[in-house]
Each structure stands twice: as C-alpha cells, then as structure tokens.
Chains A and B, each alone.
Chain A
Amino acid sequence: MNSILKNTFLKNTWKLVSLLTAMIVGTVLFAGSALAAGGTGPEVKRQEWSFGGFNGQYDKAQLQRGFGVYKEVCASCHGLKLLSYRNLVQKGGPEFSKEQALAIAKEATVIDGVDEDGEPKERPGKLSDRFQGPFKNETEARSANNGAYPPDFSVLAKARTIHRHVPWYTEPYWWAYDMVTAYEEKGSDYIYALLTGYGTAPKGEVMGDGMNYNKYFPGHQIAMANPLTDDAVEYTDGTATTAEQHAKDVTAFMAWASEPHLNARKNLGKRVQIYLLIFALLLFLAKKSVWARLKH
C-alpha cells in the first residue's frame, strides 16, 4: 500500500511540477510580449563591416577616408584624446606614411613646457603627441555647443550598443547567434544608424530649442545637427562621396580608434586556435590510448 501511495505521489509530483512550470512560463511569455511591444525608435540594422565577425580586418583605404571625414567634419567638436598622431602610421590602422602623419600632427598647436618668463610655450605637434582636442575643457565645449558636450571619439564605438526588438523568449537565441557570429560591431551599427537617421520631426513631437530630430537617438532629440551631406568631403580614391558613404567611413575610423589592434588580435587568434585544436586532438588520442590500458 505504501509503495502505491508513493507511486501516485511520484506521478502527481511530475504533473504538479510541469503544471507549475507551464504556468510560470505562460505568465512570463505574456508579460514579455506585452513589454516588447513598447520599444523606442526603429531597430538598428546590422551592417556589413570589413572588420566584422570572425574574419574581419580593417580596410586601410576606408580608414584613410574615414580619417578625412573626421578631420574635415567631426574634429571641430569631437576630440580623440586617447590616440597619438603616431597611431596613424601604425600597422592595422589607416597606415598613412610617416610624412603624411607628421604633416597632420604639425597642423596642431601643442603646449609644451614654459619659456624663460614662465609662460606656456607653444610648438607644432609631433608624431608622439596625443591628438589635440577642439576645446580646452568641458565648460568651453558646452558653451560653444548650446550646452551639449560632444563626446570624445577614442572609445565611442565601443561605448554604444543596440537593442534588438525581439520577443523575450527569443533573446537566448540571439545571444547565442551574436556569440557564434562574433558580433562586436553593435556600437558601429548604432553610430552609422545615428549619422543616417536624421529627418523631420513627426507631427506632435515638440522639439527643444536648437535640437534636431533623429529617429535612432534615445528620446529622438539630439543637439548635434546632421553633420554629413553628400560631397561634404573630397575622396581621392574614386569612392562615391554620398552622405551614407561618409557615415560608413567615419564609423569605420571610429571603430579602429576604439580597437586599434583588432587586425593583429584576430590574426593571432586563428593561429592560436589552430594550435589548440591540434593540441586538443592529440590529447584526446593520448587519453584514449592511455585509458585503453584499463580494459582487460
């Protein structure tokens, strides 16, 4: 009798547990779909980047064009304080010649030491200098920009991300998908979307003083006016000078600025992984042969 009781209890436990699980999953499913409905702004599309994914490498020509866009358009408000002019020469970057980079550095004025009267001494920039920003400090930047502070570009491409508008229960799938496809360019996708996301405000949107409508910016009101137009920057390599192309190139440049050793890292990765794969295979075979000794 006791065993029958336990058997019934066992069956009922399974039922109870599955019922409870179904209830919880059902509740959360409903909640998730309700929440997912109320997102902000359109979804940011994943772009094709030469440096994206497992095999990605920077396109030298694109980085050079992107630097041109940065210099002509962005640099009047956005700094690049973590980079030095010498970085423009280094491998895996825009790879300007030493002379070109030196010419760029010399355009900047650097304060270095003091003269015999104790006054700050100015000199033209050198390759070893950090990029000189457009403003002396945040207060000056804000006063020149209607109270807004243009963010520094050094790590900006890694400091932004995107959010997929997907039902909550598919999120684990997307986590796995992003992991397997090595999706590290969310910030670049966001920046490209932002740069191409300007437009006129929809009816009923009350715009703040001096603010611009951008469908991808959180809250849709951004202090920066649309910076890129067709033919804003001259290209010497024959690439089309559309606003989209400018946006793409400058985003690639920002991605490099935030991750300057990506080429070397991904290249080394392949060698390390092939080594580990062969090593694992050998160890597996060794393990099999060692354990075979245990059989009679």
Chain B
Amino acid sequence: MSDHSSSYVPSNGFTRWLDERLPIIRLMYDSFIVFPTPRNLNYLWTFGGILTFCLMAQIITGIVIAMHFVPHGDHAFASVEHLMRDVNWGDLIRYTHAVGASMFFAAAYIHLFRGLYYGSYKSPREIIWIFGVVILLLMIITAFMGYSLVWGQMSFWAVTVITNLFTAIPIVGESITQWIWGGYSVGDPTLNRLFSLHYLFPFIIAALVGLHIWALHVVGSNNPTGVEVKTKSDTIPFFPFYVIKDGFMVVVFMLLFSWFVFYAPNYLGHSDNFIEANPLQTPPHIVPEWYFLPFYAILRAIPDKLFGVIAMVAAIVVLFVIPWLDTSKIKSVSKRPLFMPFFWLFVITCLALGYLGAKAPEGYFLLASQLFTAYYFIFFIVIMPVIGLIETPKELPDSITEAVEGKSGKEGASS
C-alpha cells in the first residue's frame, strides 16, 4: 500500500548500489513479498495470478507462431498447417495458443464475476475495475483478430460480418469500413493489418495489466466480507501465503488447460475453420467463438443493425459505470439478501445469452434473446441503483480478523 513504508534492506554491496539508483528490487519486494494481503481471500482470488499466466503463455506461444505465419491470403491457411505438420512440436504450440485464448476468457469471466459478486469495483477500487474492463475490451479485439488470421471460412466470414457492422454508422460508415479493410472487401490488406495489430495489442494489454496491479497495490485487495483492512492482524504477507496458494491453482488450471491441448484441441473450435477462406461461398451458419456468444446474442436480438451494434457495445460500456450505478453501502452480495437473487438471475442471463448466441435468431430463440438482453441491461441500469437504496443488508463482521476467528477468538485475544 502507498502509506506502507518499505521494509526492504539490501543484503550486499551490489544491491545497495542498485537500490540507490533504481530501486527495482525494493519495488518487487514491497509488491510481491511483504505486500499485506487480507488473510481471508478464497480460491476465487487466485484468478488474477492465473490470468497473468494466461497472458504470458499467449505471448510466448504467439511469438513462436509468428515466426512461421505468413500474413497473405494465399498462404496464411497453409502456413498454419505447415506449423502444425512440419515444425517440431508446432501442433502443440499452436493448440496451446488456440486453446489458450479460450482458457484466458474462461479465467477472465470468472475473475470478472468474482469482482461483481464481492463488489470489488466499489470505492476505492473504481480505477482497478475500469482498467479491468479496458483489458477485457482489448482481449476481445485481440482474440477476434487472432481468430481471423487462421484464414479459414469462419475466420474470413467473421471478419466480414464484424467489419460490416461499421457500415451501420450513419454517413461515414461506408468510408470507415473501407478504410479498415484497406480495399473494397476483406482481403490481403485486411489480413496484414489484423496480423500487425494482433501482435501489438497483447503488449498494450500487458502494460494495462501493470496499471491494473499498480492501482490494486495502492488500495489493496478487496476480500469476501467486503470489510476493509483495519489492523495488521487482518493481513498476511503475500509471500509465502498467496504465492503458494496462487501457484497451486495455476497448476490445477494447467491440468484443465492441458486436457484440451492434448486430447481435445479442436473441441472449442469450429470445423468450418478447417476449410480455407472462400470469399465466394458463405458458410450456412456464421458463429463466433464461444466466449463472444453472449455479445453476439445481444447483437442479433435487436432487429435493427445500428441499434444492435449499439446494444452490443453498450453491453461492455455499461461495465465502466457500474461503480456509480451500484448504490449499495456494502460490497459483498453474500450480505445482500434482496440483491442476491437478481445477481444469480444475471449469471443465468449471461449463460443463456451464450447459449442463444449459437442458435439461429428465429422464433422463440429470438424472443428469449430479447428477454435476456432486456434483463442484462435492466440489471445494471435499474436493479443495481434501486436495490442498493432500499435493502437492509445483513450485519457485517467488525473486521476481517473477526470474520476469520469469530467474535470469541477476538475476545480471547484481547483479554
């Protein structure tokens, strides 16, 4: 924390010399060794570490893939296959990258819902949350561009559908779309710029992750009770307690990750993407990757193109303002009996939208998408502000220590 004076003592002549010029070891020591962390964090708090692992895994595998990838419409598909067939362990590198995108989103969504449930976006953590939403937005763009590079049928037509959304912008839509394409349709110039930006964005994400963690380390972690840290007994040092806990969960996460990579690498993908891109033949169903399906359902729930796009963008933009939409005096949903059913209905809504995103928007499926889309926004815009004002939350523990040790434990300690 900012008011926490550093306890780092350089141990030898070199580190003393370095510390006076660039206190980088001190920074690491203060941030990841002695950093005071609430003692009651549950396993949902390990997903920050898991996400760091995901980002590093994507960057490392991605750099290797870029050594073999050819960003040209005639060669992209074949170059990916070349990597899979002729490069030593190339199939594993590529499958780790492709499955890794899915695992990254799975972890990010759990991380996001953990933040929502425990009110981690509330004061004083608004900036952390906002950086988190920006990271999510960049992840979405990066994953979309990466998927396009395979240059299969699904890649090509996904790019066509999504870039065409820009034509919905009045007056300048057409020009903007052609500017993005670098031509009059999706083609080589589009593929080339998608590749360039796909390589750039992960490093921007990494920088934002740095800011996300910086902001976190100014105010400290939230915790399941939502009661802020008050005394020293509420916290434990990050090392060894959370290093080992996070490390354990990263390995558990890798077990799941490796299941897909080794035994079901194409389970999360779409078979049409093994057909090389063909601008003259539209696939029967254009479906995005699973992690975009809720947003895709919102886009198609609205019969008007422009308003569909606005709703889809709004579904993410609304996340930026929830620190101010939530009027509750306390953080954790677990202490908010009136709000809790609405929260879980929101979780169901997101899952249902994910399901509906994979279905043709017709008949009852369309109707269901519209109902769930409506609830998605009502939850944030109506339920969050109103319930916070009218509900009486459950009693909170006085401190984190009390929550962990119970009232009697505290009395025993003080007597």
Residues of A participating in the B interface, judged by any CB pair closer than 8 Å? 3, 6, 9-10, 13-14, 17, 20-21, 24, 27-28, 30-32, 34-35, 53-54, 82-83, 87, 154-156, 158-161, 168, 171-172, 178-179, 182-184, 186-187, 218, 258-261, 265-266, 268-270, 272-273, 276-277, 279-280, 283-284, 286-287, 290-291, 294
Contact = CB atoms under 8 A, between A and B. Distances in A.
Scoring B275, B367, B372 by chain A CB atoms within 10 A of each residue's CB, the highest score goes to B275
Interface stretch (B7-15, B112-120, B203-211, B259-267): B259-267
Nearest to B341: A17
Given A184-B266, A276-B254, A35 B368 contact: no
B214 interface: no
Identify the 10 closest CB pairs spanning chains A and B, nearest first: A31-B364, A269-B262, A159-B274, A182-B263, A161-B271, A283-B248, A158-B274, A280-B251, A182-B264, A155-B274
B392 interface: yes
B29 interface: no
B50 to A, nearest CB: 13
B368 A31 contact: yes
Interface in B267-313: 267, 271-272, 274-275, 284
A35 B363 contact: yes
Contacts of B371: 24
Contacts of A155: 81, 274
Contacts, number: 137
Nearest to B269: A158
A276 B253 CA distance: 10
Nearest to B274: A159
Contacts of A32: 364
Contacts of A83: 85
Given A10-B338, A28-B364, A283-B244, A272 B258 contact: yes
A186 B271 contact: yes
B364 A284 contact: no
Nearest to A159: B274
B248 A287 contact: yes
Nearest to B85: A260
B364 A34 contact: yes
A82 B274 contact: no
Nearest to B413: A296
Given A158-B271, A273-B259, A287-B245, 20 more contacts: A9-B390, A13-B342, A21-B348, A35-B365, A82-B85, A155-B81, A155-B274, A156-B274, A168-B359, A171-B355, A183-B267, A265-B262, A265-B265, A272-B262, A273-B255, A287-B244, A287-B248, A291-B241, A294-B236, A294-B241
Contact of B263 (A10, A159, A269, A287): A269
A82 B78 contact: yes
A290 B255 contact: no
Contacts of A54: 263
A168 B365 CA distance: 11
A9 B91 CA distance: 58
B337 interface: yes
27 contacts: A6-B338, A17-B345, A21-B345, A24-B368, A27-B364, A28-B352, A28-B364, A31-B364, A34-B364, A87-B85, A154-B81, A159-B274, A179-B264, A183-B267, A184-B263, A261-B91, A268-B92, A268-B262, A269-B262, A277-B255, A279-B251, A280-B251, A283-B248, A286-B244, A287-B248, A291-B245, A294-B39
